[in-house]
Amino acid sequence: GPADMAPEVWEKVKNHPCYSEEAHHYFARMHVAVAPACNIQCNYCNRKYDCSNESRPGVVSEKLTPDQAIRKILAVAKEIPQLSVIGIAGPGDSLAAGGRNTFATFEQLQKKAPDLKLCLSTNGLALPDHVERIAQYNIDHVTITINMVDPEVGQHIYPWIFHGHRRWTGLDAAKILHERQMLGLEMLTARGILVKVNSVMIPGINDEHLLEVNRQVKARGAFLHNIMPLISDPAHGTQFGLTGQRGPTAQELKVVQDACEGGAKLMRHCRQCRADAVGLLGEDRGAEFTIDRIEAMG
């Protein structure tokens, strides 16, 4: 592995297509959309479609039960030998609703296909409650979507969160979410679990602030920082879409990414996958492997 990487880290990175730019040419990932619920509201989300943390809006993912997900994964693993990672990234939050479906899927998978790496993506609100189980099921890769480290910024991104049996709004909501995200990040990195931070760049809201996000997540041990452009689509009715909030241009995105050089290492090959994507990054073979087709094959 590279000189600047400890051998145990390299072991976790070398065949993960998102954590290693090199690996993404050779190794495939598969998402199973077993997590429909969410515990917060992001202004860039439309609940009818995928968690827009990672997914382009407009197409509904194939929602699966944990049992269906296992059948689908085992069938796909036979057909795609490069498959190395199973991720749960929506269509809601993987740890909302107690993470029930997420952990039910990973628990079985760990027994039935121990060679596949497990990966999950979360907004972080429920993360501190689940670090123990994440470690227990050998989930080596966790992505947290962190769009701010300052509740003043956060209040323009998150209209509400649901936490501790009640709904919070405004600055209170953003403050709780921020504290939970930082705590979850620290707890994971303290256990040697690799953490990638995704940030959605929202012009005029958090674009300049993302340098501070980069600095703070680096200080807490994040392995990678993935700054992604907001995909704002009024046709799909996101809050930001309705207010006319635009996404950044490629040039604006690059300026912010370049300004972060020297901080937490940046991921630059993200393809903003759907919550049911299958295959190499940038290809989506999901349509070949719908659960109907798999169950028809027996």
* DSSP E strands, 89-138: 117-122
**Is 41 one of the binding residues for ligand SF4 (CB under 6 A)?**
yes
**42 contact choice in ligand CLF, ligand SF4, none (CB below 5 to 8 Å, kind-dependent):** ligand SF4
Closest of 82, 76, 74, 66 to residue 33, by C-alpha:
66
**Is 270 one of the binding residues for ligand CLF (CB under 6 A)?**
yes
Taking the complex as a whole, the smallest distance from the CB of residue 152 to ligand CLF amounts, in Å, to: 27
- 181 to 210, contacts with ligand CLF by CB under 6 A? 196
Closest of 75, 77, 104, 111 to residue 88, by C-alpha:
104
The DSSP bridge partners found for residue 166 are: 163
**245 contact choice in ligand SF4, ligand CLF, none (CB below 5 to 8 Å, kind-dependent):** none
Name which position in 28, 33, 51, 217 contacts ligand SF4 (CB under 6 A): 51
| C-alpha distance from residue 211 to each of 82, 123, 146, 216, 262 (Å) | 35, 19, 12, 9, 11
Which element (helix H / strand E) includes 21?
A: none
Q: Which range in 6-14, 185-193, 238-246, 267-275 contacts ligand CLF by CB under 6 A?
A: 267-275
User: At which residue do the structure tokens 């000189």 appear?
Assistant: 3
Query: x/- site string to ligand CLF, residues 104 to 123, per CB under 6 A?
Result: ---------------x-x--
Name which position in 226, 232, 238, 245 contacts ligand CLF (CB under 6 A): 226
**Is 174 one of the binding residues for ligand CLF (CB under 6 A)?**
no
**Is 271 one of the binding residues for ligand CLF (CB under 6 A)?**
yes
**Is 272 one of the binding residues for ligand SF4 (CB under 6 A)?**
no
Alpha-carbon distance of 32 to 65, in angstroms, equals 9
Strands 194-201 vs 139-145: parallel, antiparallel or unpaired? parallel
> Contact, 293 vs 80, CB < 8 A?
no
Q: What amino acid is encoded at 220 in this protein?
A: R
- Tokens representing 292 are 């109907």
Taking the complex as a whole, the smallest distance from the CB of residue 186 to ligand SF4 amounts, in Å, to: 20
Q: Which residues bind ligand CLF (CB under 6 A)?
A: 18, 29, 31, 54, 85, 87, 89, 119, 121, 141, 143, 196, 226, 270-273, 281
Q: Which residues bind ligand SF4 (CB under 6 A)?
A: 38, 40-42, 45, 51-53, 92-93, 123
